[in-house]
């Protein structure tokens, strides 16, 4: 005897399979568009926090609920002056200062200061002999405009970042990026597996005071 109920369930599954696949694809597309996206690292500008060909997962939703914070690693749409010819290039850098921050290089120990607080930056790239890059290759003294961010690569000698564009232009708007140009926050390396780790904010940023009110 044929079990009609079983036959109906089997037929129903195959009829519904294309719908289930379509729903899964739609969910994946929506997640990628609005929530999470993967990026690979094409350059050495963030070594060795991020190495070439590392893959990171980016939270695209977080800044819909709060402002970007110092120390976070972010993917952003490069300003036109930063682009190398590929329209709409995505860059990845670390936020050093947000709107209103007074950033100076360097103090007596050759550290960058933000609102008078010196940053100890253990993430800065080190040569094979353990010698770290300088925090900056030239002195500077800037205030980040409201709504903009000062961003730098962890491999300071190999990064086209806010400092490089400040040195070439002396224009603070060209040297900073718009906060609303951020695609999202990179929060973990997921590939290769042996480098998988969370990209947390270094403790040195915790003690940075709020910027002084504008006069």
CATH architecture label of 37-205: Ribbon (2.10)
Instruction: Read off the pLDDT of residues 22-45 as tens digits, 9 standing for 90 and up.
Output: 555 555 554 555 568 999 999 999
Residue 68 has pLDDT above 50, yes or no: yes
The pLDDT, as a whole number, for residue 4 is 44
Residue 6 has pLDDT above 60, yes or no: no
Range 103-123 average pLDDT: 97
The pLDDT, as a whole number, for residue 215 is 64
Catalytic residue among 45, 77, 159, 162: 45
Catalytic residue among 60, 93, 159, 162: 93
Q: What is the C-alpha separation between 178 and 61, in angstroms, rounded?
A: 17
12 is catalytic: no
99 versus 10: which is more confidently predicted? 99
45 is catalytic: yes
The pLDDT, as a whole number, for residue 13 is 61
Residue 64 has pLDDT above 90, yes or no: yes
**pTM (2 d.p.):** 0.85
């Amino acid at each position: 005897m044929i079990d009609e109920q079983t036959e109906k369930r089997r037929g129903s599954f195959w009829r519904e399979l294309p719908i289930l696949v379509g729903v899964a694809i739609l969910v994946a597309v929506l997640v990628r568009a609005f929530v999470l996206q993967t990026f690979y690292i094409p350059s050495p500008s963030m070594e060795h926090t991020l190495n070439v060909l590392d893959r990171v997962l980016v939270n695209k939703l977080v800044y819909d609920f709060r402002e970007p914070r110092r120390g976070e690693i972010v993917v952003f749409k490069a300003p036109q002056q930063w682009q190398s010819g590929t329209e709409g290039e995505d860059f990845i850098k670390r936020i050093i200062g947000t709107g209103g921050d007074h950033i100076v290089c360097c103090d007596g120990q050759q550290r960058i200061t933000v609102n008078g607080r010196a940053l100890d930056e253990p993430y800065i790239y080190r040569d094979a002999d353990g010698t770290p890059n300088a925090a900056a290759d030239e002195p500077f003294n800037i205030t980040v405009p409201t709504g903009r961010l000062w961003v730098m690569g962890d491999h300071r000698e190999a990064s086209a970042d806010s400092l490089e564009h400040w040195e070439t232009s002396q224009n603070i708007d060209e040297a900073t990026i718009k906060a609303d140009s951020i695609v999202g926050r990179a929060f973990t390396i997921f590939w290769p597996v042996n480098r998988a780790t969370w990209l947390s904010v270094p403790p040195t940023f915790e003690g940075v005071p709020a910027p002084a009110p504008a006069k």
